[in-house]
Amino acid sequence: MPTFDLYANDPGASHWQVPASGDARFSWEYDDGRDRLLALYQKGKDKQWDGLKRIDWDLEVDPHDPLGTPEEAMTLYGTPYWDRMTDRDKGELRRHFASWQFSQFLHGEQGAMICAARIVESAPDLDAKFYSATQTMDEARHAEIYGRFLHEKIGMVYPINDNLRSLLGDTLRDSRWDMPYLGMQVLIEGLALAAFGMIRDTTNKPLPRQILAYVMQDEARHVAFGRMALRDYYRQLTDAELREREEFVIEGCYLMRDRLRGVEVLENFGIPRAEAEQLSERSEFLQLFRRLLFSRIVPCVRDIGLWGKRLQQAYVDMGVLELGDSSLDLLMAQDEEIAEKLDAERFAAEEKERVAEVQEAIEAGQDAGD
């Protein structure tokens, strides 16, 4: 079914055109790659997987409770709106929220694919181009999977959130070659990764859990790449240049924290925007969620060397400064482990089923022989 038939709100024109700036760069040195980057490229090739085969699409999803979200975690919980809602309304609200959230993931993955392709074009060295080409493919697979989940299992899609779109636009319009890394790999992917992780670790529904665990396994490589490339580059920048990058990060973080909350959904349920914003502000669950959203970004910006006074102050304001101490390496190792463990569990269950089937066939054969 065409996606345009599934949009909850009018997405406007069918395409969004962002003028490209900056140079496409060729490199004639084919044999001088950095070992760490080439190793990551190799890993990118080795670890490609096909969502068509690896994900069990036969698993059913209840579109009115796709994630098993507990009531208390819903923004409207504890308000008069919630009390007035029938069970049917509550199911509809859950469907809209899941659709909104996964739609932002979907549009974000398309953005990630386009940024990765941009990096193929603009990065000066061939090792970075090679690696980024594998990431472009990773992001295409992710967009394919989220798109399928929304079309087949939720049956509803939301347009891209205005603020996500503006951050994506700023990232793509900038002609400095490090900006797609910083805006996309560090900020947008950092946020997405934290959101994926929270859902992966709390949902009791097997299909979304598979999707998120496997997508996160790839994202660990993407974060590693952004860190390597930026850490090397930012060592060479002047203080003034570093401050510019920090300003961009500060602004992006505030924007994502304050404006990415699914107010569009509440508006669709007849709640005026100002009130919807207030309700989201007050929701205890969302406050926790917002803090956790920074769990991947803060240690990353610190790691790449953007850790000036103003940035630290901004993180103090947001109450997330201490997240800078957490270990990204550990988080990423866990992401890979969780995906591998899930595979092992599923494989063991399938194996058990297969053995039981064989056993049954043998017994049936014996019965027939008797």
Considering only residues 191-220, where is the footprint of Fe ion by CB under 5 A? 219
Tokens of 321: 């400064």
User: 42 with 190: CB under 8 angstroms?
Assistant: no
What CA–CA distance (Å, rounded) separates 256 from 254?
A: 6
Of 93 and 112, which CB lies nearer to Fe ion in the complex structure?
A: 112
Position 303 contacts Fe ion (CB under 5 A): no
Nearer to Fe ion, 142 or 296 (CB): 142
Decide: is 222 part of the binding site for Fe ion (CB under 5 A).
yes
Q: Where does the chain have alpha helices with state H? A: 35-46, 51-54, 80-84, 87-122, 126-148, 162-173, 179-180, 189-202, 206-234, 239-259, 263-268, 273-282, 284-292, 297-303, 309-318, 328-369
Nearer to Fe ion (CB atom), residue 109 or residue 335: 109
CA-CA distance, 314 to 250, in Å (whole number)?
7
Window contacting Fe ion (CB under 5 A); options: 77-85, 102-110, 321-329, 337-345: 102-110
DSSP string, 133-149: HHHHHHHHHHHHHHHHI
User: CB 276 → Fe ion: shortest distance, Å?
Assistant: 29
| Residue 142 within binding range of Fe ion, rule CB under 5 A | yes
| Binding residue (CB under 5 A) for Fe ion from 61, 76, 93, 112 | 112
Residues in binding contact with Fe ion, number by CB under 5 A: 7
Least spacing, CB of residue 126 vs Fe ion, in Å? 21
Question: Is residue 296 a contact point for Fe ion (CB under 5 A)?
Answer: no
Joined tokens for residue 317 = 């304001």
Shortest gap between Cβ of 182 and Fe ion (angstroms)?
Answer: 14
Select 184 or 286, whichever has its Cβ closest to Fe ion: 184
Write the DSSP assignment of 202-266 as a string of letters: H---HHHHHHHHHHHHHHHHHHHHHHHHHHHHHTTS-HHHHHHHHHHHHHHHHHHHHH-S-HHHH
- Closer residue to Fe ion in complex, CB, 66/190: 190
Both tokens of 2, joined, read: 């065409």
User: Is 143 among the residues that bind Fe ion (CB under 5 A)?
Assistant: no
CB of 365 to Fe ion, least distance (A): 49
The residues binding Fe ion (CB under 5 A) are 109, 112, 139, 142, 189, 219, 222
